[in-house]
Amino acid sequence: MTRLSVTHLIKRYPQAALPAVQDVSFEVEDGEILALVGPSGCGKTTTLRLIAGLERPDAGSICLNGQEVASDTRFIPPEQRGVGMVFQDHALFPHLNAHDNIAFGLRRWRPAEARQVVDDMLKLVGLAPLARRFPHTLSGGERQRVALARALAPRPVLVLMDEPFSSLDTDLRLEMREQVRSLLKTMQASVVFVTHDQEEAMYMGDRLGVFKSGSLEQIGTPEQIYQTSATRFVAEFMGNSSFVAGEVTPAGIWTELGLLSQAVDLPAAAAVEVAVRADDIDFQPHPVGNGVIIDRSFRGMHNLYRLRLDSGLELRAFKEHTTILPVGERVHARINAGHPLCVFPDTAKG
Amino acid sequence: MKRGNSLILPAWLSRRFDAHPVRRPARLPLPVPLAGVAGLVALFVAIPVVYIFLRAAGADLDDWQRLLQARIWSLLGNTLLLVAAVTGGALVIGVSMAWLTERTDLPGRKVLRWMFAMPLAIPAYIGGIVHLALLRPRGGLLPQMLESLFGQPVLTPSPLGFLGAAFILTLFTFPYVYLLSAAAFRSQHASLEEAARTLGCKSWQAVLFVTLPALRPGLLAGALLVALDILAEYGTVALLRYETFSSAIFVQLSGRYDRSAASVLSGVLVALAMIILWTELRVQGQARFTQMDGSWRPAPLTALGRWRFPMLTLALSVVFASLLVPVGVLLAWSVVALLDPQTLQEVVRTGSRGFLSFALNSLWTSALAALVAVTLSLPVAVFSVRHPSRISRFVARFCQVGYAIPGVVIALSLVLLVNRAAPVLYGTPFVVVIAYVLRHMPQAVRASEAALNQLSPALEEAARISGRTALQAFRQVTLPLILPGLLAGGALVFLTSLKELPATLLLRPAGFDTLAVRVWVWAADGFDAQAAPAALLLVLASATPLFFLLRREQLFK
């Protein structure tokens, strides 16, 4: 069943030249976690707030559980939408203790039932002993869990999470996201999760939606996004790709790294860019070669080299940890991927 | 870490690193009821100003001509001269004392901080009464003492006229600049001065070229508030016989009953005040660069070395003149009054003319004004902070006009308006309360705005998501959390209402005396000793809320 469907959503701010959200459509299935990812200011948080009812869309519609909650003619206020939200800074009510914070959304429930749910939630997030503590006496991770419990307690149709781990430090963030993901899966919650961290998005999301300046560039599983990026931006943002210029020939794509024998759906002589990652490049020392080593950093399991090709393009390339070559050495670099690479028309060259 | 938001200081200074990040305004449908209520409040506040301008514009051409020929220009000269002198004096004393307590190793600087702030509890006219009694050329205590000591008259500086008024007013307004600059000195990054030092500045050059310029917008805002205060000042200038717009209007109103001339003068005065207020609001908006953030650490103290003793003497003489002398003399007089049976009888007489009834009148009018002002400020603050737009900003700005309407002008417009529109109110103490509310509304609005600004809107959003309507979210989440800030705002309104003299004098019903009125009337009649207990009580009543307000400041923790 479809929990959330967003169609042709548009949101403009008066002073801004471009819309904050531009014709965005997607769906979230029952029990699915959708991670929206993109650089800051790309419209992902605005999308979340539109779903919550904290902002009003300029066009498009939002359906929750099959019921229309926002469209040109309807606007259901946030309190009637039945969604749960975990805020970036947690937004715990400082005048209420952990128990009462979680109980806040259960006002209409029978008291005994509500108490039971709160106790269950506290146990579930491992905070039962801290039920009477006030937010300022809790640690960052504990606050995070109270916020999550508060959002989940009323059994919301949909859980919205706005960069929930951004206020935690790195170690805690890694630990929390494991806990949170398994908890969400246990409760079979449907979730829209917003983050600017690609790795976090790939970890948390069953599917990913990549945003760029207000538009959804691509939506799909982490593997799809990583391996068959739909646009140059997705390849660059999600995969740390470099781009090598090439030209389409009948035999494949001719680049300065040699011929890439891969069929593309483009006319011959079209200018293209090939997205390559550090593990797609191999190189050997060569007296003539096509580039030079400008930097090497030892990463334990492998060496990460930076090469400057004679065209001026800089690339990164992995080598096994035993292969140590001096900076300044001339090398011959070539593509050695073992799988199809993403190819994009070179818009700069028309 | 949640810090109390400052009220004595402008909002920008208290906006610390824990404040929530600026968020795009939520574009929920414009809250029509809220906007309506906020608009009504602004309208209520605006009525007296608009009315005064209408009256001034509608005055007889003859009146204008008569006033333009002579009075206005000399009054304008007098007023501007005093404003410039006091503002300058307050800046020099305030900033230098702040530098001494915050950036040097001056001994006793923790105690001195309190000593420099407490004169805020002493109304300038009470300070004036004391200094006048001490220094009066004929019959002053100091000249008499010197004469008996040396056997011949010794020339002492007279507190009357321009110099006296400037001296007294500087003594009792510098604390505002002091608090502002001390807080700014404190919140400034140590790295700022250190950067200047690494770039080759000597220590004093760093202060002069980096520290002070960085504080400039904040200080300017403080100076402009002092200027507005001086424009509105009546008691001190009347006492020291220096004629300004305020005192001239008062005379027209109470002596000659020439309301037309009073309206013309008021129009000019308010126009002048509006210019200053407008500048202040603009400066305040820009004054953002002394905020604390996570990497803040205190600047190193300058060692005064052999200047220690002279600087301490300087600081103590300021404390002496602005705090110890007035309080000491009031104490001494009070003892005299309470020991003298006849004066004692005057002071403690029961009934409507008794001491207790003055105190009660002061308390209930000021407390009611505080309650009303804070209540009215809430919709305005919520509208401007949570729904920022051109309209809401305009409404909030409009509620600041009270700063620019001196007590005498409020009195004049209320006399005229109430007579015409609500004669039922005429001759009741409620007119006095309305005047307090109108005059001190800006402080309430600023306090409520500051309190709301410190509260992350995500809390209200979380309440909405949990099924509360906007109003329920406000009642259950926002209100309990901003209550301390609102109480502080109320305390500030209470404190300033207690001290308000001219509006009370002109608007009170016959026989309705407050502490401020009684002190003034007794002192004007020369019964200094009789006035002293009332004055002392007034100072104490002001000092109590001030103490709690100051305790909220970072400076006094």
CB contact under 8 A, A52 and B461: yes
The pTM of this model reads 0.78
Of B20, B466, B481, the CB nearest to A105: B466
pLDDT band at B347 (very low <50, low <70, confident <90, very high): low
CB contact under 8 A, A83 and B481: no
pLDDT band at B286 (very low <50, low <70, confident <90, very high): low
Q: Flag the least confident range among A244-258, A302-316, B344-358, B403-417.
A: B344-358
pLDDT band at B351 (very low <50, low <70, confident <90, very high): low
Q: How far apart are CA B414 and CA B433, in angstroms?
A: 11
Is residue A162 within 8 A of residue A88, CB to CB? The reply is yes
* Mode of pairing for the β-strands spanning A207-212 and A33-37: parallel
The pLDDT, as a whole number, for residue B2 is 35
**Chain A positions touching chain B (beta carbons under 8 Å):** 13, 46, 49, 52-56, 75, 77-81, 83-85, 87-89, 91, 93-95, 104-105, 107-108, 136, 150-151, 154
In this model, does residue B444 exceed pLDDT 80? yes
In this model, does residue B302 exceed pLDDT 80? no
Exposure letters A200-220 (e unless 16+ CB within 10 A, then b):
bbbebbbbbbbbbebbbbbbb
Beta bridge partners of A281: A335
The pLDDT, as a whole number, for residue B43 is 87
Taking contacts as CB-CB distances below 8 angstroms, the residues of chain B near A108 are 467
Is residue A3 within 8 A of residue A190, CB to CB? The reply is yes
Span A119-173, pLDDT tens digits? 999 998 889 999 999 888 898 889 989 999 999 998 899 999 999 888 888 888 8
In this model, does residue B114 exceed pLDDT 90? yes
CA distances from A8 to A65, A66, A159, B413, B486 (A): 18, 16, 21, 57, 44
Span A268-285, pLDDT tens digits? 888 898 988 888 888 989
Residue of chain B with shortest Cα separation from A136: B1
The pLDDT, as a whole number, for residue B321 is 92
Provide the mean pLDDT of chain B. Answer: 82
H or E segment and range at residue B274? helix B259-286
Tokens at A258, concatenated: 């040699």
**Averaged pLDDT for residues A240-245:** 86
pLDDT band at B405 (very low <50, low <70, confident <90, very high): confident
- Kindly state the percentage of chain A with pLDDT values over 90: 39
**Averaged pLDDT for residues B373-389:** 90
What is the distance in angstroms between the Cα of B237 and the nearest Cα belonging to chain A?
A: 49
**Averaged pLDDT for residues B44-61:** 83
In this model, does residue B151 exceed pLDDT 80? no
Q: Flag the least confident range among B349-353, B359-363, B406-410.
A: B349-353
The pLDDT, as a whole number, for residue B30 is 60
- DSSP readout, B209-244? IIIHHHHHHHHHHHHHHHHHHHHH--HHHHHTT---
In this model, does residue B91 exceed pLDDT 80? yes
Q: Which residue has the higher pLDDT, A62 or B104?
A: A62
In this model, does residue B472 exceed pLDDT 80? yes
Q: How far apart are CA A159 and CA A192, in angstroms?
A: 6
Span B454-467, pLDDT tens digits? 888 889 889 998 88
pLDDT band at B1 (very low <50, low <70, confident <90, very high): very low
Residue of chain B with shortest Cα separation from A150: B466
**Within chain A, where are the H helices?**
44-52, 98-103, 111-124, 140-152, 170-186, 198-204, 222-227, 232-239
Q: What are phi and psi of B451, to 5 degrees?
A: -65, -45
ipTM value:
0.72
In this model, does residue B299 exceed pLDDT 70? no
**Averaged pLDDT for residues B253-265:** 77
**Averaged pLDDT for residues A187-194:** 93
The pLDDT, as a whole number, for residue B358 is 86
The pLDDT, as a whole number, for residue B292 is 42
Span A218-227, pLDDT tens digits? 999 999 998 8
**Chain B positions touching chain A (beta carbons under 8 Å):** 2, 20, 24, 26-29, 456, 458-459, 461-470, 477, 480-481
Is residue B296 within 8 A of residue B189, CB to CB? The reply is yes
Taking contacts as CB-CB distances below 8 angstroms, the residues of chain A near B484 are none
Tokens at B324, concatenated: 């110890």
Instruction: State whether residue A44 is helix, strand or coil.
Output: helix
Q: What is the dihedral of CA A238, A241, A243, A246, to 10 degrees?
A: -90
Of A52, A94, A136, the CB nearest to B465: A52
Taking contacts as CB-CB distances below 8 angstroms, the residues of chain B near A104 are 462-463, 466
- Kindly state the percentage of chain B with pLDDT values over 90: 28
Q: Flag the least confident range among A240-244, B21-25, B408-412, B428-432.
A: B21-25
Taking contacts as CB-CB distances below 8 angstroms, the residues of chain A near B29 are 56, 75
DSSP code for A82: -
In this model, does residue B307 exceed pLDDT 50? yes
In this model, does residue B85 exceed pLDDT 90? yes
> How many residue pairs bridge chain A and chain B with CB atoms within 8 Å of each other?
75
**Averaged pLDDT for residues A176-193:** 91
Q: What are phi and psi of A237, to 5 degrees?
A: -75, -45
Q: How far is CA A96 from the centre of its chain?
A: 33
Span B188-235, pLDDT tens digits? 766 666 666 666 666 677 777 777 777 777 788 788 889 999 998 998
Which of B386, B456, B460, B466 should be substituted to probe chain A, the one whose Cβ sees the most A Cβ atoms within 10 Å?
Answer: B466
Q: How far apart are CA B13 and CA A21, in angstroms?
A: 35
Residues 6+ apart with CB under 8 A from B254: B505, B506
Angle (nearest 5°) at CA A173 between A172 and A175: 65
Span B11-50, pLDDT tens digits? 434 433 333 444 444 445 567 888 889 989 988 888 888 8
Tokens at A67, concatenated: 């019921």
pLDDT band at B375 (very low <50, low <70, confident <90, very high): very high
* Mode of pairing for the β-strands spanning A291-298 and A330-335: antiparallel
**Averaged pLDDT for residues B331-344:** 83
What is the distance in angstroms between the Cα of A291 and the nearest Cα belonging to chain B?
A: 43
DSSP code for B533: H
Angle (nearest 5°) at CA B118 between B112 and B123: 145
**Averaged pLDDT for residues B98-122:** 91
Span A17-39, pLDDT tens digits? 888 999 999 999 999 999 999 99
In this model, does residue B369 exceed pLDDT 50? yes
Q: Which residue has the higher pLDDT, A7 or B52?
A: A7
Q: Which of A79-83, B116-120, B191-195 has the highest mean pLDDT?
A: B116-120
In this model, does residue B318 exceed pLDDT 60? yes
Q: How far apart are CA B435 and CA B432, in angstroms?
A: 5
